[in-house]
Amino acid sequence: MLSAEMNERLTRVGPGTPCGELLRRYWHPVAGVAEITKEKPKKRVRILGEDLVLFRDGKGRLGLVEEQCRHRSASLYYGFVEDDGLRCAYHGWKFDCAGTCIEMPFEPQDAPLKDAVKQTAYPVQAFAGVIFAYLGPDPAPLLPRWDVLLREDGERRLFILPELECNWLQVMENSCDPSHTFYLHAHTLKLKGKGRSGAYYDRPIEKMNFETVKEPAWCGIRKQRIYGGEEAEVEAGHPVLFPCVLLSPQREHLVMHMRLPVDDTTTKIFRMQFTPNDDGTPVGQPDIVPVEYVPPMKDEDGEYHLDSFASHDAMAWETQGPITDRGRENLGIGDQGIAQYRRLLREQIDRVEAGEEPHGVIRDPAINERIVIEVSSGQRRVAKQLAESSTD
Ligand code: FES
Ligand SMILES: [Fe+2]
């Protein structure tokens, strides 16, 4: 149970809020590279409560600037993309990818105004088919080079889910909640005649382990189910990479669920799915990973169709409320992971407030060469025996 004050502290993402300041210390996905094309070189994005325009200039450079023009606030989304920047459609002021004003057509050429005006701009990087942004103070840390985004021995697919109408923390808490898999997912599918007998949810769970990790390469929580019965088995666990990523096996795939806190009450999920081939040989990767948009989670009557894991999860997260009231909850033993994630979050917010670097921010290029996180040890063996493996 959390006080209303603590609930606010852990959930609000806007500029100047304690949690918003923490989340600004990390890179976040904002779009698929395939979403910024020559034909459509700009896109509106909202991240951490800020409205921005993502664009690629004529020279191929990416820029991310605040949407409202610093002249008289028209939307730059309707601006013209040129070779060296984005020109506002209202009076033609032009900004480059760093937000510098490089042209003011109706002002004297030597006017000091041009040097004084700066459109807020944030660094962006394209990596593995995704465009990531950093909204925090300089200098930006390194964009983590997760193994799943670097591997070439298989196929990579990028899915973008419909935006969720709920706060980001509800989504991340769920990643530390292994027990929901058995009812929300397994039982729902069973009742719909889609469950399979012998699946892992029929097996007795003896214990769930949650381990908080603070290593140089990553910070987060490793969750693990230990199955009982005659053949006790231990899963390697699904790491929750603080603050907003879940890495999880899903049948033969390895899936990176990247959650973007769009604003206080909206969350967007980028799901990178990697399917390794059998012999580990590298295969040619496409220059641009196509974006696949996941269909809505609700049916034509506006009700959750509950035909997929994603629809089950959306039902649970959104019905908790836009920002769930944690003052009315009753946590049990099965919610240890949630309590642990909140502790980690609280601690990192405190660190930022104290002027320290939060955990999981990477600045050492040697560490960042390739970050391999253990997911699969024993997992494949378990996954093969189990009819379905959890996604979340
Ligand atoms: S409002 Fe953008 S140039 Fe005037
Ligand atoms: Fe789930």
CATH number of the domain that residue 38 is part of: 2.102.10.10
Residues 156 and 260 in one domain: yes
53 and 174 assigned to the same domain: no
CA–CA separation, 53 and 66 (whole Å): 6
Give the pLDDT confidence score for residue 191 in this predicted structure. 87
Q: Which two tokens stand for residue 55?
A: 């664009």
pLDDT given for residue 199 in this prediction: 55
pLDDT, residue 4, reads 97
CB 180 within 8 A of CB 330: no
Look at residue 352 in the predicted model and tell me its pLDDT.
98
In this structure, the answer to whether residues 264 and 371 fall within a common structural domain is: yes
Same domain, 111 and 238: no
Q: Give yes or no for residue 103 CB within 6 A of ligand 1.
A: no
- Would you say residue 194 lies in a domain? yes
pTM: 0.93
Alpha helices in the chain (DSSP H): 4-11, 18-23, 113-116, 147-150, 168-174, 180, 188-191, 309-319, 336-353, 365-368, 379-385
The domain boundary, picked from 113, 134, 155, lies at 134
Residues 237 and 343 in one domain: yes
Q: Are residues 211 and 334 in the same domain?
A: yes
User: Given this model, what pLDDT does residue 249 score?
Assistant: 83
The whole-number pLDDT of residue 214 equals 94
Q: Are residues 130 and 160 in the same domain?
A: no
Asked if residue 177 and residue 48 are part of one domain, the reply reads: no
Residue 127 near ligand 1, beta carbon < 6 Å: no
**Confidence at residue 380, expressed as pLDDT on a 0 to 100 scale:** 39
Q: Is 214 domain-assigned?
A: yes
| Residues in Cβ contact with 306 at an 8 Å cutoff, skipping those fewer than 6 apart | 188, 192, 312, 315
pLDDT the model gives residue 387: 37
Check whether residue 274 and residue 161 sit in a common domain.
Answer: yes
Cα–ligand 2 centroid distance for 64 (angstroms): 32
Structural domain of residue 53, as residue ranges? 27-134
Which residue CA neighbors atom 3 of ligand 1 most closely? 91
Tally of domains within the chain: 2
Provide the pLDDT for residue 322.
98
Cis peptide before 243 (omega within 30 of 0): yes
Domain boundary residue among 82, 101, 134?
A: 134
Both 266 and 356 in one domain: the answer is yes
Tell which one of 67, 72, 77, 102 to mutate to probe ligand 1, the residue whose CB is within 8 A of the most ligand atoms.
Answer: 72
- Predicted pLDDT of residue 206: 73
For 392, residues 6+ apart whose C-beta sits below 8 A from its C-beta are 174, 175, 181, 246, 248, 257, 309, 313
Q: Which of 76, 77, 88 to mutate to test the pocket of ligand 1 (most atoms within 8 A of CB)?
A: 88
Q: Which residues of the chain have pLDDT under 70?
A: 195-204, 228-236, 376-392
Q: Token pair 């500029």 is at which residue? A: 15
Q: How far does the centroid of ligand 2 lie from the alpha carbon of residue 309, in Å?
A: 6
80 lines ligand 1 (CB under 6 A): no
- Which of 101, 134, 167 is the last residue before a domain boundary? 134
Residues 128 and 164 in one domain: no
Q: Which of 67, 68, 71 to mutate to test the pocket of ligand 1 (most atoms within 8 A of CB)?
A: 71
Q: How far apart are CA 377 and CA 358, in angstroms?
A: 29
The gap from C-alpha 84 to its chain's centroid, in whole angstroms, comes to 30
Q: Establish if 39 belongs to a structural domain.
A: yes
Gap between the Cα atoms of 32 and 11, Å rounded: 26
Q: Is the CB of 76 under 6 A from ligand 1?
A: no
Does one domain contain both 120 and 178?
no
